[in-house]
Amino acid sequence: MNKKLSPEDAFYENLTLGLIKTLSNVPRVCNVNLERRQPLNLCQVVNWEQRHCVYLPEDMKKFYLSTDGFVLNWSYQYAPSDIRRVGYIHFPHLLQVTLLRENIENTHSVSNSTSSTSTAATSSTAPKDKSDNAPPIIMPKTKIFEINNINEVAKVCMFYESTNSNNPRFYLLELNTLSWQFLAETFSEYLRMAIAHLGLPYWELCFSSFGLPSWTEQLFLLLAPHLLEKHELRRGRIINPACEHPYNIIDPNIFRGKPKGLAKTLANSNKPHK
């Protein structure tokens, strides 16, 4: 008989699409650990938006109202006495989502006086990424936020074309060349991609122009060789449901907040003891 999950366990089970249970059944994968965090309140989210003069996309806002990011990591047993922590999925605290510091104003940028026609022309003539996506156009009102640093060679960025938009896209910025690689249309898609790649180390570099480090590629070949297939375009690719991978869709309803019972528990735990 299956043990009934607590409301908090069920929340994180749904949030990670059952990845913890999946990893626990993979040979040689061990020490699967999830760092759970309390949700933000609406005032904290609004303060972040006002500080940066942008609106978070709705799915991302609901995520942070449910949990202030999370960290999932796991280890791989290379030998009986050689266990190394390699798997890593990191969604930062909202306060850690900050403006990008790199000076990228001159990479495919356009001025205020540029017309929409010339902008389109710039986009069409700019070099495309490895998946044939046009690079983003950086304008005076563009805002770019750093989500993750990938081994000091690339950064996952949330890209607002202007401060009037609340539909940012997610890109990989290669630091050596300051070139862009498209990752995801939405925050939910980026979250799903991290889970679909099992948190394998530096999975985002699958989308880079220089590829994965060799030791990471070996792990991919051992645990998820289908993710390295060259003949399939990654963009637009759908992971088909299968009996061994029953969790493959993120339900946006899970971002409505943690269950009421859990919220009361958290509130009581924060009260000062008399």
d(CA 174, CA 151): 11
205 in a structural domain:
yes
Q: Which of 23-27, 115-119, 169-173, 250-254 has the highest mean pLDDT?
A: 169-173
220 in a structural domain:
yes
- The whole domain housing 53 covers 7-100+186-227
**pTM of the predicted model as reported, rounded to 2 decimal places:** 0.77
d(CA 213, CA 228): 13
d(CA 73, CA 151): 16
29-35 and 70-79: which strand pairing? antiparallel
- Residue 158 forms beta bridges with which residues? 145, 170
Sole residue written with tokens 């289908």: 226
What confidence score (pLDDT) does residue 257 get? 53
Q: Which has the closest alpha carbon to 94: 59, 50, 54, 44?
A: 44
218 in a structural domain:
yes
130 in a structural domain:
no
244 in a structural domain:
no
Q: Return the structure tokens found at 84.
A: 């190394």
Q: At what angle do helices 42-52 and 58-66 cross, to 10 degrees?
A: 140
What confidence score (pLDDT) does residue 8 get? 85
11 in a structural domain:
yes
User: Does position 242 have pLDDT exceeding 50, yes or no?
Assistant: no
Sole residue written with tokens 């493959």: 248
User: Does position 233 have pLDDT exceeding 80, yes or no?
Assistant: no
243-253 residue pLDDT tens: 333 334 445 45
Count of all residues that appear for the chain in the document: 274
Q: How far apart are the first and last CA of the chain?
A: 41
Confidence of residue 105 (pLDDT cuts 50, 70, 90): low
Show the beta-strand stretches assigned E in 92-206: 98-99, 143-150, 154-160, 169-174, 179-184
106-157 residue pLDDT tens: 444 444 444 444 444 444 555 666 667 788 888 888 999 999 999 999 999 9
36 in a structural domain:
yes
169-174 and 179-184: which strand pairing? antiparallel
User: Does position 268 have pLDDT exceeding 60, yes or no?
Assistant: no
Amino acid letter, 21: K
Cβ-based neighbour number of residue 117 at 10 Å: 8
90 in a structural domain:
yes
Residue 256, φ and ψ in degrees, nearest 5: -70, -20
Sole residue written with tokens 């989210």: 45
How many domains does the chain contain in total?
Answer: 1
**What sign results for the dihedral spanned by CA atoms 23, 59, 227, 215?**
negative
